[in-house]
Structure 1
Amino acid sequence: MRKAWYNPNAPVVPTIAEIRTVRDSQRDRKRRLRGAGLLACLLHPVCDGPGVALLVFMPPVLFALSLPVFDWIAIVDPFRRADWAMGLLALPIFLPLLFSFSMTLGYTLLVLGQMLVASAMGEADQPAWPEWNPETISEGLARWIWAALFGMAVGGFPTVLYWMYCGNIDWFDRIIFADLIIMGAGYASMTLAASLLHESLAAANPITVLVAIGRIGWDYVQPSLVAGLSVMLSGGFLWTVLFAIPSLRLAAIGLWAFWVFALYSAMVSFRVLGLTYYAHSDALVWFRYRPKWATSSRAGRLYTNS
């Protein structure tokens, strides 16, 4: 950047070389997005140590902490007598486990958020796991809850209302359900990305989110589809495990498999979303540097990536 030679107080104007640099960087980002196709995103969770470790070590912990959900369902029996009062009375028994589960899940979501930031910066390596910090975990949970509420408002509530008044469900209704879920998942993903990359819940407002989606344009269809399919498959998987499998032993195995699939699909969804942001970062201009909460380093690691 330089000033006009005849006026030292003139506004800064870009040079031809700088304009070409910006355009080259935009083309390079779009080429990298096309090169990192869906197959590469599907392989991304198992191509680096942090992702593999997340799939190996976190599902058993989350499985052990969420296993009492079968006891709570047996007490409440939602599809028969639906004794919610008895469930509320039994809830204090599960409070210690519920707290441990929330903190463990919050830490897992913090790792996933760092993977989203790394993809948004165009990095091929996955970030290292962060330190266990209850304050950071609580803040991360707030961001996820905020994004989930917006996703439910956009896609969840219309889906429930449509289900209540549509009558007998046919294939057309199922297509409508899928469209609403994909729309809600896509909106929730951008809401989460805004709160993570801006480091502020205030940035995850409808104006910022809708403007960002509009600037990305049709390229945002892919991350919305991937996020929507992940939500539908994970929700169907969990419902089958909790209510459709007659054997408790098989259901327990299915619960462990659910956590593996949920973490894997989340990493794939965030990889697609992050690369989409990276390709359009010049248009969005959300951030220049890595957010402070996602500054964990891979320095001193025992392995390297080719």
Structure 2
Amino acid sequence: MTDSELLTAADIPLMQGLAQRVTALRPDHISAGASYGELAWVWGQGCTPYGSTWPRRHWYAGDELVAWGWAFLPRTVRRRDGSTTEVTGSSLSYQVHPGHLHLVDEIIDWYDGVAAGLERAVTPTNAERFALARWAAHGYEPDADDGEWTQLNGRDLTGLDEPRLPDGYRLRTADEVGPDAAVQAHVDAWERTSYTARSYADVRRTAAYRGDLHLLVEAPDETMAASTIMWFDPANETVEFEPVGTHPKHRRLGLARAMLLAGMHRAVAAGARHATVVAEGGAHDSGPARLYQGLGFREISRDAPMLKPAG
């Protein structure tokens, strides 16, 4: 059984359920855009401005979702600083249960149809050997190596150091500081973001969001200097940090390290035994990877971007 239509809020818990089952079997098959927390985050922060450009398709075995594809079609990205970017190509997030890998070809055919005439990008992980071969058989080639990479990292929540914030800084939660401060913390950390109060309202409406697991660091002047959202997957006793950001004026003070350590302690109290975080890096910026490695995170897998030219 399959169906194809625009992605809705009701789809996200279904897709997260598949992410939970895949995580239990093959965590190295979880690409950066298809994890339990990332699904909620991407949906929430982008559904209002871009939802009309998000077709999706589900594949079922009986009543159980076993695969999905989520296409991101051309759109105009408007940022808070007034700049805009025209996205003229397409990209795809997808997931398939390891027991139903034969569906990869159907996912590819669907994506080629819904994005016909566009440049098409997709990001399987480097561990998805079968899928990588099938994408290549359909004319997709590895993205040109520009030195940039995205990887999923994990660690067990044992042997945690105690968090230490600089004098005058303190840990807060989104429940305590309220929506305005939480939004401003994100905007300050990501200067060219399109994140708005409406984006955050949509994030908060996802079933996986918890305000007590949305952590912030308050500076001595009572502004928010850093923030992260933790997404708790009870089925796998795992917490995912996404996003993680620090105000430029408060960087290199150890705030992110202390915030993540405090978050891991809080995650243990919530029932988690494992934590994950996605790192992006490259020749000119490996700071996040060094931060996570210093906190004991180790690589689980890397995304392996592939492209197919327009036509």
TM bin, normalised by shorter chain, reads under 0.3
| TM-score after normalising by structure 2 | 0.26
Higher helix share: 1
The structure that has the greater radius of gyration is 1
| TM-score after normalising by structure 1 | 0.27
Higher strand share: 2
